[in-house]
Structure formats: structure tokens, C-alpha cells
Amino acid sequence: MITIELEVFNRESLGKQANKKYRKDGFIPAVIYGKNKDNLNILVDPIKLKKLLKNEAGENTIIEMKLDKSDLKKNVLLKDAHLDTLTSDPLHLDFYEITEGMDVKVSAPLLFTGKPEGVKNGGVIQTLSNEIKIECLPTNIPNIIEINISDLNIGDTLRVKDIKPMDGIEILSNPESTIISVLAPRLVVETETTDADENSESVSDENSEQEKNTEG
């Protein structure tokens, strides 16, 4: 678990027009919410936030927010980012305030290590998921979950239920969900063969046409 600090500002005005002005001034409107807690409307500096998340542990980083000109501090997780459909710039952010001693639900990123035996024999990796849903205490939130896939052979599949149990962490994702597979390169070969057959047929048709023209 990694904790970082971020200074935020009180958002005094609400509504679309006010938020539009805040964005024009270089801030992202945001809200902090939590179980049995009052919402706190804030403004976030997008440059500082992006830099912190990029250089630290990403979205699973616990952020200690300090309200400008106040002694108020809150530990939060970034739960949702509403993005502009054209530019992908964040329009609004939702932060969840965590409470010491209470479990939280988060998505934990997966890191695959090792080269599968199946790949060494010509197989192809198919990744269906790069994260799983978990529930744990904030202090137990993993930055990443490493999974060694060296033993996977062609035809093997790694499912959620195959992940080794972790102390203090409950996996919420469907146990039968596929995470990664090693496929035989059959589809690639079949595609190449089909293309070659089509090219061969095309050449044959051209030769036949030329012979007809010669005979004529």
C-alpha cells in the first residue's frame, strides 16, 4: 500500500455553470463521499494529481487529501472519473473516503511474470483480464498482484480460482472467469493458408484468361 499527499481546494459554488468556470480556470470539480459521511465538494489540480498517480501506485494509491487553508485531512481512493467523450479529459472525479478498520472494494492490477512453456513451443498468449476485484482493509490494498505464468502450456487456461490465496484479501471476481490462456497458433496458420489459396486461385484464373485470349 502506498499513501500520497495532495492539497485540494474547497468548491464553494455548485452547478454546471460553476463547474464549467472551474475547468476553465484549470481545476477539476470533484466530490469526496463515504459510508455514513457527508459529501465534501472540492477542486483538484489535474496536473498534480496525474503526476502523483503516474509516479506512485496508480488508482489503488491511498490519497491523503489536505483541504487548503484548513486542518482537515481525509484518506481517500479515486473511485470514478467522468471523462470528456472527445478529449478524454476528466470532467469530474469521485473519491471514496476510507475508514480505518473497515474493508474497501477495489480493482487490483495483475502483473504476469515469466514466459509460458506454450509460447516457447509456438503458442500465443490471449489475455482476457488485467485486473481482479478484491475486498480488504485499506492497509492491505496491493499495488499489484504478481502471477507467474511460466508453467502454462498450449491449451492451458488460468482462471481467477487459480490465483493463490492472499492473507487479508478476499477475491470477489467470478472464480470461473478466465484471466489468460495460451492458444495454439492454428488460427494464424489457417488464415495464412486461406490467403495463399486465394492468391493461388487468382493466379490460376489470370493464366486461364490469358490462354483463352491466346487461343482466340
The tens digit of pLDDT for each residue in 180-190 reads 999 998 654 55
**pTM for this one?**
0.69
CA distance 47 to 50: 5
What average pLDDT does the segment 72-77 reach?
Answer: 88
By mean pLDDT, which of 29-38, 56-65, 102-111, 163-172 is the weakest? 56-65
Render pLDDT for 113-156 as a digit per residue (tens, 0 to 9).
999 999 999 999 999 999 999 999 988 988 889 999 999 999 99
pLDDT bracket for residue 207 (50, 70, 90):
low
Nearest to 25 by CA among 40, 6, 12: 12
* First-to-last C-alpha distance (Å) of the chain: 82
Domains and their CATH numbers in the chain: 3-99 (2.40.240.10), 105-187 (2.170.120.20)
Computed on alpha carbons and rounded to an integer, the radius of gyration of the chain in Å comes to: 27
What average pLDDT does the segment 192-215 reach?
Answer: 53
Nearest to 42 by CA among 16, 67, 71, 5: 67
